[in-house]
Amino acid sequence: MSKVVDYFLKYASYDTQSAGDTKINPSTDKQFELAKYLKNQLEEIGVQDVSMSDRCYVYGTIPATVEADCPTIGFLAHMDTSPDYPDDPTNPQIITNYDGGDIKLGDTEFVLSPSMFPFMKDYIGQDLITADGHTLLGADDKAGIAEIMCMAEYLINHPEIPHGTIKVAFTPDEEIGHGVDNFDVEGFGADFAYTVDGGAWGSMEYETFNAASLRVFVHGQNIHPGSAKAKMKNSVQIAMEFDNMLPAFDRPQYTEMYEGFFHLNNMEGNVENTVMNYIIRDHSMEIFENRKALVNQVVAFLNAKYGEGTVEIKMNDSYYNMAEKILPHMFLLDIAAEAFKELGIDTPVVTPVRGGTDGARLSYRGLPCPNLCTGGHNYHGKYEFICIQSMEKTVELLIKIAQKFKDVKKN
């Protein structure tokens, strides 16, 4: 196995799942275990100024090998895994020389199949890593960590390679939208950065959704069904009515590219009380605001129908489309495109992120931060997999990008 695979499998063995129902950062203490390991590893390979904050952020510096008036560039990845599917214990399985057929996931009934994911045919003859069907794999974003770590180690071991100062960082809680709540942008010291948190080899992104979280509380009135006429108010049914008043086809399973949605992530309740958790997404700020306005209109309608206070909501913006902050710095994409071309990708695939990255919020905090591929697919579930050759190429990509910044003049 190559070093990047070695590192990835080690990181994948850590349970780092974040949790969206806490009010602390990091949301789970177990993320510290991987953070401590990464801090020690950075120190062992010779990265300078390594630190880990009390909020689980790991930072380090790769010193410049040339004197140049160039920007300081950063690379970031997140340590946590999605709470949408179990991540422990992760038992990766390696498929060498993939033949284009179905891949059985461990001892489960689940099969990773090109009939469901036709793009798998692109990987015939290459080597893939999956989980065993019981957990997600964790390539999102432990693959990004492994790739950054290999880049750092290579540059430290090859001081003859000319480059400016490079910063690296690993963050907690990205999957629940709090990845940079306590990130020290000024202390990090980068002028620009890239998150390594994307998908297939050859892709990069600079557009994300505008995002909001929505929590809906429906208050009913439980009366014995034998004497409920004109008295019972069933919160579950009112909650269903709320959901049905949102556009039927503005849901993830019906949308793609720049199309936004309302997504009911989970729901729990009974006659007396029901709680629903949504995420709201759109690339257009105007449509995003219209979506939130529609929610308020639905709440007002149901309260008028069933009584004031029947439906209450908590709606908060999570992050905004980073395109606004990247467009003045499109040279970041140009540099990455040059590096891709040198590695055989003449035209990188640039698509909108149907989600968010730490880079979205960092861009709004003054650190323009587009996103690069890791080589993975099907994140947040049992069908997640990653291509080993793509991981190895991504390491080369990061090294090339780091070198190219020595020729960029600092403003």
The residues annotated as belonging to the active site are 80, 174
Q: What pairing do the DSSP bridges indicate for beta strands 273-282 and 261-269?
A: antiparallel
CB atoms within 10 A of CB 23: 6
Distance CA 205, CA 396 (A): 18
> Which residues make Cβ contacts (< 8 Å) with residue 24, sequence separation at least 6?
none
Residue type, 154: Y
Q: What spatial distance separates the first Cα and last Cα of the chain, rounded to whole Å?
A: 42
Burial of 147 (0-12, 13-18, 19+ CB in 10 A): buried
Q: Give residues with Cβ within 8 angstroms of 346, minimum separation 6.
A: none
The DSSP code sequence of 306-363 is: H-TTSEEEEEEEEE--THHHHGGGTHHHHHHHHHHHHTT-SS-EE---SS--HHHHHH
Sheet with 48-52, edge to edge strand ranges: 48-52, 58-62, 166-171, 73-78, 192-196, 371-372, 203-205, 349-350
Report the C-alpha gap between 123 and 235 in whole angstroms.
Answer: 49
CB 282 within 8 A of CB 260: yes
Beta bridge partners of 84: none
Report the C-alpha gap between 131 and 117 in whole angstroms.
Answer: 16
